[in-house]
Amino acid sequence: MELREQGADCALYKENACIGRARWAGDTLETLEIAPAWRRRGYGSYFLKELLRRRGGFARGAASCFWAAAPQGAAAAALLAKFGFAPAADGRWRRQVTPDLSAVAFCHEFLAARLRPGGLYVDATCGNGHDTLFLCSLAGAGGRVLGLDIQPAAVENTNRRLAAAGYAGVGRAVLCGHEHLGRLVAPGTADCVLFNFGWLPGADHAVHSGPATTLPALRAACAALRPGGVLAAVLYSGRGIGSGEKQAALEFFKTLPPAQYTALVCEFANWAGTAPLPCFAIRRG
């Protein structure tokens, strides 16, 4: 089985024969069809699941919202219902996933409440591209998103994810250490710089960020912010990663001059001491 995508058009192939087609319009699945000879054999379920998966619909801990055109017939309705779609007031069907609150989800909610479309957004640790994709949704068609990572696999995964979601014209990832973001982002121009520290999910956990690069990166991020811009960071500690980076970053936030920044460190009071910490620095006007 192979799913091929060209822009908004998607096709499902089995042994070089096209057995299904689908088309997206933004976050709305306009059509999904399986060739008559291949129906009632599970291919529709496979196709829809893969379409959603490639757009983050099954990402652990990530919120998502997808729409589908009103189904034509009972079989199409049953397929949408199987994957969590339900009729909405406007006649379309909607699939919305709202996960339990996490440090990353809290960070996203905080940014979504403060930031507006347009402007420049930077994902300084793009990983597999989930945060980069989130920033693209905030930036919109009139904005620009830049992702950075030191691992080629992370850059490739992120650019592939953005292209699949239709954001290739809004965001891109480049191979660059976050401590060097000042080379790519002019001072006072960024609406947001986002860090999600730690290691690349699915990769070697021995490769992770540390104080030697994190502190220069945080300083560069502060310099990049425009007035009203937000630096957001999720800090980690624990086995393998230790606590050095987390403690160094916390000290950084605590020592930011209050005349220039409002700094927040948000703690989950009844979680373990190694729980991730969402932190924010808002540049004052």
The model's confidence at residue 239, banded by pLDDT at 50, 70 and 90, is low
Position 222: which residue type? Answer: C
Dihedral angle of Cα 158, 161, 165, 168, to the nearest 10 degrees: 50
The pLDDT tens digits for 19-60 are 999 999 989 999 999 999 999 999 999 999 999 999 989 887
* Entry field: residues in the chain: 285
Averaged pLDDT of the chain: 91
pLDDT of 205 reads 47
The pLDDT tens digits for 125-164 are 998 899 999 999 999 999 999 999 999 999 999 999 999 9
The answer for residues whose C-beta is within 8 angstroms of residue 41's C-beta and 6 or more apart is none
What's the mean pLDDT in 248-263?
96
The answer for residues whose C-beta is within 8 angstroms of residue 123's C-beta and 6 or more apart is 131, 132, 135, 145, 146, 147, 148, 173, 194
Hey, where are the domains in the chain?
2-97, 103-283
Q: Global pTM? A: 0.66
What's the mean pLDDT in 114-131?
94
**Tokens coding 6:** 């060209």
The pLDDT tens digits for 156-215 are 999 999 999 999 999 999 999 999 999 999 999 999 999 998 655 554 444 556 778 999
Which CATH fold topology does 2-97 show? Aminopeptidase (3.40.630)
86-87 and 64-68: which strand pairing? unpaired
Phi, psi of 146, rounded to the nearest 5 degrees: -120, 125
Report the first-to-last Cα separation within the chain, whole angstroms. Answer: 54
Report the distance separating Cα 277 and Cα 182, nearest Å: 25
The model's confidence at residue 220, banded by pLDDT at 50, 70 and 90, is very high
Residue with the larger pLDDT of the pair 51 and 275: 51
SS (H, E, C) the chain: CEEEEECCEEEEEECCEEEEEEEEECCEEEEEEECHHHCCCCHHHHHHHHHHHHCCCCCCCCCEEEEECCCCCHHHHHHHHHCCCEECCCCCEEEEECCCCCHHHHHHHHHHHHCCCCEEEEECCCCCCHHHHHHHHHHCCCEEEEEEECCHHHHHHHHHHHHHCCCCCCEEEEECCHHHHHHCCCCCCEEEEEEECCECCCCCCCCECCHHHHHHHHHHHHHHEEEEEEEEEEECCECCCECHHHHHHHHHHHCCCCCCEEEEECCCCCCCCCCCEEEEEEECC
Residue 28, by phi and psi: left (phi above 0), alpha (psi -120 to 50) or beta?
beta
Q: Is it true that domain 103-283 has CATH number 3.40.50.150?
A: yes
143-149 and 171-175: which strand pairing? parallel
Q: Is 235 exposed, middle or buried (0-12, 13-18, 19+ CB in 10 A)?
A: buried
Phi, psi of 225, rounded to the nearest 5 degrees: -70, 140
Asked whether residue 226 carries a pLDDT value surpassing 70, the answer given is yes
